[in-house]
Structure 1
Amino acid sequence: MLPEPDHHTVVTHWGSYRARFADGRVAGLVPIEEDPDPSPLANAMIDALDNPSRILRPAVRKSFLEKGHAAGGKDRGAEPFVEVSWDEALKLAAAELDRVRTQHGNGAIYGGSYGWGSAGRFHHAQSQIHRFLNCIGGYVRSVQNYSYAAADTIVPHVIGDKRGLVSQHTSWNVVAKHSELIVMFGGLPRKNAQVSSGGISRHILQESLARAQRNGAELVSISPIRDDTVSDPQPYWLAIRPNTDVAMMLGIAYTLMAEGLHDRTFLERYTTGFERFLAYLLGETDGVAKDADWAAAIAGIPAAEIRNLARRMAAKRTILMMAWSLQRADHGEQPYWMAITLAAMLGQIGLPGGGFGFGYASVNGVGHATPEISWPSLPQGDNAVSDFIPVARIADMLLEPGGAYDFNGERRTYPDIRLVYWAGGNPFHHHQDLNRLRRAWQRPQTVIVHDSWWNALARHADIVFPVTTALERNDIAASSRDRFIAASHRLADPAGEARDDFSVFSGITEHLGLAHRFTDGRDEESWLRYLFTLARQRAAAAGHALPDFDTFWKSGFCLLPEPDHQPPLLDTFRQDPEANRLGTPSGRIEIFSSTINRFGYDDCPGHPAWLEPFEWLGSAQVQDFPLHLMSNQPVSRLHSQYDSASHSRSMKIKGREVIRLNPQDAKARGISDRDIVRVFNDRGSCLAAAILSDQIRPGVVQLSTGAWYDPTDPAAEMPLEKHGNPNVLTCDKGTSRLAQGPSAQTCLVEIEPYRGELPPVTAFQPPLFEARQHNSQ
């Protein structure tokens, strides 16, 4: 038996909390004392426990229950469900999995998950589903993620690995002490820094910025949105046109070159291919010099501002920070490659407070000084299926089985998927062009989903298993971006008949005769004790002593000390580039990549370049759709999680998500503050509530992601989405043939006042249910 905790602790994606109880129920979540800037999101988890949108029993789509996979997927999302017993649902899922792997092979099963369902190391939906599918013979997987897919692919080509993108950033301690100029492409959004996938001990952004400014650091935010960076005093704002950061950086680079401010010694010793890039920069290869005047015409930043910034960057210890969001755009590889090139021209890579770093404040913990411990997680086993797709190409895969596509130097073929199994995450939130995704989602024979609420993913499934939330199960949390390990205690009984993912998969493997292979003979408590034993061993190897499991479970929280040594990114490479060669073919920073050049991609040449996006404020499409839509992360929730809870719903207007636009653009369209508007383009349309704001550059609008998809007619080809989901508007196009990442931030729209009768928001209501029909004898 697990010992009774001294204080009930729960670890979430937005912080660590002590539970407060009243009348035998959890009544509040109090942030731990160590957190200087706690998130307000946590208490939404409590009222969502018994929200009307909870899935309380296993359910099967009506026609699927009657006809099985022969029912087809045309009516997914529009058809009633029938609630069934757990035993029937588990048998049905097991039979479908067995049918598909027997008739078509495991390469016809796609395992979908995005991993954000829980901050725990055991009840981690992505690990659970991967382990389960590997136990039954494997599955087609995805690579990358929606957060930084293009960067995930390009950065290793340039510096040999993913340092500075996912790990080993120059710490905020070093930045705050040594950086004199912090240039932030995409800002440092506090709302993004409120969350992290593996849990949070301390929110570090605000205190880190404050220390840097106290030490004299100057902040420059380059973004279409002023409040992408919230600090006091406010940073200097350069209101750039969306998707033009590469052009601006080229203008800066040209100024450095023309005025002799670039570091020739660094470029010669630590990089390769600069001369090829220089020919492009100077216009020798295409007849266009990329000077500040050229850049100003594209980016909408005055040439004098660009030149002045270049000179200040060269004169000061400068770090270039770039948000993950910048690469979620057409040619999203280019700003990352160009940022590294610009940092190399400044010659400060590897110096304290200089160089570059990606993702600061995109989630909490980037730049956190952490001990080097590889925390254990649920073993996933080996996948016998080698096939995969880039994560954002799921609709392409379902619509074009057997179709060929390029990816990172390979010519690949989309598999023929007959069964989609999804646990953790919501593609009807993450994915672009939801009308296209809906068409693709009709193609598989079977869709099985685990979820806690009747969101759009669950509504578009054939078999739905109700699963517990983080407050309804025990777990252990620890993050590679933080310096804690904590118990996450169960605070509430499961709603209805909900079970955790481990129990669901255990039940299915029982029917398949593979239960021991999946469980390893362990239950939840045994797995937690096993994982903590591994954690103690790894912590001890790093010089940190953890208590025994029972003591840990009772106390709930262990905060490890910060490491004394906090080297800047690529410091050993700078000290000796021969002894510490990078993982690139040349061993150096590749400003020109012969590897990428050999791929022959016209949308990703061999050096960083300005490539005109397929939609932008300088394109012909502005005649019809003159506003650039930024679909960034919300302040009221994490992605779409807990949109049905009170905190998120309190920030809507007339039940609709808020869209912000500049007063100039509102006046030109007859839009007043808090009006309901229709946002539209050729891909779709949605309703939203207008808020007028001078924090937004003219010509740009901002509609955050995460409003649960809510079409007026689920069976229509292009229904009006009535809740404010921007992904009915975004384009499902790969960033390039190199990375095939999502390009959601490249999107033009128009807005008009909505004059019709407002349709009710029904996103948070359960679907229709029908009683089981029994044949009479």
Structure 2
Amino acid sequence: MSRPHSTPWGSFRGEMVAGTLRLHPRDGDPDPSPILHNVPSAVDHPARVRRPAVRRGWWEDGPGPTERRGREGFVEVGWDEVLDRLAAELARVRDAVGPQAVYGGSYGWASAGRFHHAQSQVHRFLNHAVGGYVRSVGDYSGAAAQVVLRHVLGPSELVSKGTVTWDQVAAHTDTVLAFGGMNLKNSAVAGGGISAHVERGAMAAAARRGALFVNIGPLRSDLPAEAGARWLSVPPGSDTALMFGLLHTLLLEDRHDTAFLERYCVGWERVAKHLLGADDGTPKDAAWAAGITGVPADEIRELARRAAGGRTLVTVAQSLQRAEFGEQPVWAGLALAAALGQIGLPGGGFCYGLGSIGHYGRRRVDVPVGALPQGTNGIDVAIPVARVAEMLLHPGAGYDFDGERRRYPHVRLAYWAGGNPFHHHQDLGRLRRAFGRLDTFVVHEPVWTATARHADVVLPTTWTLEREDIGAGPFDPVMTAMHRLVDPPGEARDDYAIFTGLAERLGVGAAFTEGRDVRGWLEHLYARTRDGLAARGLSAPPFDEFWAAGELSLPQRPDDGALVGAFRADPDTAPLPTPSGRIELASATIGAFGYADAPGHPAWLPPTELPDSRHPLWLVANQPATRLHSQLDFGAHSLAHKVRGREVVRVHPDDAAVRGIASGDLVRLVNDRGSCLAAALVTDDVRAGVVQLPTGAWFDPLDPSAEVPFCVHGNPNVLTRDHGTSSLAQGCTGQHTTVQLERYDEPVRQVRAHRPPL
């Protein structure tokens, strides 16, 4: 008998048949994600961590900075031994230095469940047992946009996710200017899970109605075939220049909506001055934009005229802001949409991130969804999430962030659960050196990721199929009862059981558990949703009925543009959460910070790293299509899309020809930070001068002791630059870098990333 479950890439029902897990995508999902095919092959995989494992040097010599992390072997120990030792180490750091010496590292993608949410679990534990922890702000996917939007439009959770829905696009939109595209591999996933993937169908419906999708970026595949898109192939980092060329045309030809700009915006005069070149002597006209983007000036002008002649939606993918000066395309895209005057109209205006994640473009659920309470952090110390290596390498150093001058804390212990920084962080050689500065590095992991291999203490955890939970999110209308489908291997325990054992040893067991087991917590979290349904007079079944039924439909808010729709109706009575209550096309607040790399209005700033004779190619290191980030890289679907066990890099025919490269050849990508092997795929789906290698292949260095890493599996983050987007947001810049590419004919060992190190 099949039972329901959910993952961030979709809901399904699963059953064991002759010892094999069989999955059935949820009825009603019109376009299930193929990532589901990774799941059955991952059950009890050899890559699983089966017993607690401790780095030999830490176990024998005690805590302290060392270069041996990632290079030294592990010993397996019993649960009581490791929990006793770890509790003592936590108490030592807490009592000798304080909670400001502990970093609570985590990420939110480990599970679709609301209770076994690793980030919430580790933060709750550290708050109770240590008195707090150094936290991170922002995320690797959206930090630059989150900061700039808060100043100029409003917090992204309130505003950018509520500006347009896929239903509106299907019914109303005439033109979609998709800067960075809207690749279905990205919108296939969302925190809390997805009950129905609707993006492909919405784009197909809009295209049948005559809507034009314009895919603006270096990758043809960043819009699906159903969109029938026009591809404007532009170099990485040039989107803001194209936006300015469009804006200049609207201004010069008097096609901008002056009434909208006057009533709903502040700062247009400053932007217009910049467009006309009054401040720097350089008009940002279509000819200027053509010189940067390669798009002919006449084509830019015609596109601006089309945009002004119908219902137009400007979208900015998260990928654009994952680059140096990533705040600027988000702000410039907002300015372009404001000049067209359609923000707040159905299917028009501006939407940051539409197509970048599954929750964007959907209506918000209209009842509360429970989340594990994390308690109170006793210290107020935070770093931008992508600056973790900088923090560890330079404790006490000053840095700028969002108008403040801050200093990095001196962290001695990092506790990681539910994340793999050796996937999402940049410059992995630098990251390895940074983790070497710690006294102790603790990791909860179901599998032997590179992060686990660089830890001191590795505690084996269950993964989603081996636990009960509740799958739900604020933008999906279905709550899923996540039944346990298989038994965990070896001695794996869930995060809650591990933290309970540690909390009891540290004298805070009762405060941490509140007297509840897992089922007790699930009933407690469900009660919040049930109470919300009952308050609205809707059916609110008790927990046992919900669990037996397998899912529960949740009401959604009307498709009315939410906050932005109310703002459009009357900006005086429904102002935006900005200093002026209006859309801030120029920001006095940001301008007052005095940052040269983030002025008080949108600006095109040339990248620090550009292709040159040594590194002549742009590398686009984007999200993979065959897995969620690095999760289940060893799954059947992920492995089937590798070649000779390596990740695949896409190369334009012109760039391949001059290097003697054919599809299937092993190639080496290299720059001064590192190098990696990949298998070539020669295709004109990438712009000439650009190669594309997705993230997520588990880091597998040929020589773990080498200062400059050489990954034989194809992890592009050995190449990417570990530098903040700007002084404003300090976001991740991992989307772009520059490399040389060469055919690799030397013998090389097989990939070992998915083999346990024991």
Instruction: Calculate the TM-score normalised by the size of structure 1.
Output: 0.96
**Distance across 1 between alignment mates of 2:20 and 2:126:** 35
CA contact (8 A) 1:165 1:358 kept: no
Deviation at 1:542, TM superposition (A): 4.7
Give the equivalent residue in structure 2 for 1:774. none
Counterpart mapping for 1:517-528 below 5 A: 517-528=511-522
CA contact (8 A) 2:159 2:563 kept: no
3-state SS of 1:623 partner: coil
CA distance 1:166–1:449, shift in 2 (3 Å): farther
Give the equivalent residue in structure 2 for 1:643. 633
3-state SS of 2:54 partner: strand
Give the equivalent residue in structure 1 for 2:673. 683
**Distance across 1 between alignment mates of 2:67 and 2:674:** 20
- How many equivalent pairs are there? 757
Give the equivalent residue in structure 2 for 1:772. none
Deviation at 1:568, TM superposition (A): 6.2
Give the equivalent residue in structure 2 for 1:51. 45
What does the per-residue CA deviation read over 1:624-678, in whole Å, with 9 as the maximum and x for residues that have no partner?
1111111111111100000012221111111100000100100011111110000
What does the per-residue CA deviation read over 1:162-198, in whole Å, with 9 as the maximum and x for residues that have no partner?
2576532311112211111111111110111211121
- State yes or no: 1:663 paired with 2:662: no
Give the equivalent residue in structure 2 for 1:84. 77
Deviation at 1:22, TM superposition (A): 1.3
Q: Which of these residues, 259, 278, 289, is aligned with residue 283 of structure 2?
A: 289
CA contact (8 A) 1:170 1:569 kept: no
CA contact (8 A) 2:153 2:159 kept: no
CA contact (8 A) 1:7 1:556 kept: no
Deviation at 1:574, TM superposition (A): 1.5
**Distance across 2 between alignment mates of 1:78 and 1:486:** 42
Q: Which of these residues, 302, 308, 311, is aligned with residue 305 of structure 2?
A: 311
Deviation at 1:746, TM superposition (A): 2.8
Instruction: Give, as a single letter, the amino acid of the residue that structure 2 aligns with 1:381.
Output: G
Give the equivalent residue in structure 2 for 1:634. 624
3-state SS of 1:319 partner: strand
Give the equivalent residue in structure 2 for 1:241. 235
Give the equivalent residue in structure 1 for 2:207. 213
Give the equivalent residue in structure 2 for 1:707. 697
Q: Which of these residues, 478, 486, 494, is aligned with residue 484 of structure 1?
A: 478
**Distance across 2 between alignment mates of 1:520 and 1:225:** 51
Deviation at 1:579, TM superposition (A): 1.1
Deviation at 1:546, TM superposition (A): 3.0
What does the per-residue CA deviation read over 1:17-72, in whole Å, with 9 as the maximum and x for residues that have no partner?
1112213x4521100111000012224222212111100000110011101114x3
Counterpart mapping for 1:125-274 below 5 A: 125-136=118-129, 137-162=131-156, 167-232=161-226, 234-274=228-268
CA contact (8 A) 1:164 1:357 kept: no
- State yes or no: 1:654 paired with 2:644: yes
**Distance across 2 between alignment mates of 1:744 and 1:430:** 8
CA contact (8 A) 2:367 2:554 kept: no
CA distance 1:569–1:299, shift in 2 (3 Å): farther
3-state SS of 1:495 partner: coil
CA distance 1:277–1:176, shift in 2 (3 Å): same
Gaps of 5+ in 2: none
Q: Which of these residues, 737, 753, 757, is aligned with residue 763 of structure 1?
A: 753
What does the per-residue CA deviation read over 1:709-744, in whole Å, with 9 as the maximum and x for residues that have no partner?
000111110131100000000000100000000111
Q: Which of these residues, 3, 7, 12, is aligned with residue 8 of structure 1?
A: 3
Give the equivalent residue in structure 2 for 1:93. 86
* Structure 1 runs, 4 residues or longer, greater than 4 Å off: 163-166, 561-565
Deviates more, 1:357-366 or 1:336-345: 357-366
**Distance across 1 between alignment mates of 2:194 and 2:537:** 22
Counterpart mapping for 1:449-598 below 5 A: 449-542=443-536, 544-560=538-554, 563-567=557-561, 570-598=564-592
Deviation at 1:384, TM superposition (A): 0.3
Gaps of 5+ in 1: 1-5, 769-777
CA distance 1:321–1:541, shift in 2 (3 Å): farther
Give the equivalent residue in structure 2 for 1:3. none
3-state SS of 2:676 partner: strand
**Distance across 2 between alignment mates of 1:747 and 1:719:** 16
Deviation at 1:550, TM superposition (A): 0.7
- State yes or no: 1:720 paired with 2:720: no
CA distance 1:532–1:163, shift in 2 (3 Å): closer
CA contact (8 A) 1:204 1:368 kept: no
Deviation at 1:567, TM superposition (A): 3.1
Instruction: Give, as a single letter, the amino acid of the residue that structure 2 aligns with 1:667.
Output: A
Give the equivalent residue in structure 2 for 1:434. 428
Give the equivalent residue in structure 2 for 1:771. none
Instruction: Give, as a single letter, the amino acid of the residue that structure 2 aligns with 1:126.
Output: Q
Give the equivalent residue in structure 2 for 1:66. 60
**Distance across 2 between alignment mates of 1:231 and 1:370:** 28
Instruction: Give, as a single letter, the amino acid of the residue that structure 2 aligns with 1:316.
Output: G
Identity %: 52
CA distance 1:242–1:541, shift in 2 (3 Å): farther
**Distance across 2 between alignment mates of 1:215 and 1:558:** 34
What does the per-residue CA deviation read over 1:468-491, in whole Å, with 9 as the maximum and x for residues that have no partner?
010000000101121111100001
Deviation at 1:311, TM superposition (A): 0.4
CA contact (8 A) 2:366 2:555 kept: no
Instruction: Calculate the TM-score normalised by the size of structure 2.
Output: 0.98
CA contact (8 A) 1:174 1:566 kept: no
CA contact (8 A) 1:449 1:461 kept: yes
What does the per-residue CA deviation read over 1:76-98, in whole Å, with 9 as the maximum and x for residues that have no partner?
00101000000011111111100
Q: Which of these residues, 407, 418, 422, is aligned with residue 413 of structure 1?
A: 407
CA distance 1:542–1:323, shift in 2 (3 Å): farther
**Distance across 2 between alignment mates of 1:646 and 1:73:** 36
Give the equivalent residue in structure 1 for 2:12. 17
**Distance across 2 between alignment mates of 1:233 and 1:432:** 33
Instruction: Give, as a single letter, the amino acid of the residue that structure 1 aligns with 2:403.
Output: G
Deviation at 1:339, TM superposition (A): 0.7
Instruction: Give, as a single letter, the amino acid of the residue that structure 2 aligns with 1:16.
Output: S
Give the equivalent residue in structure 1 for 2:728. 738
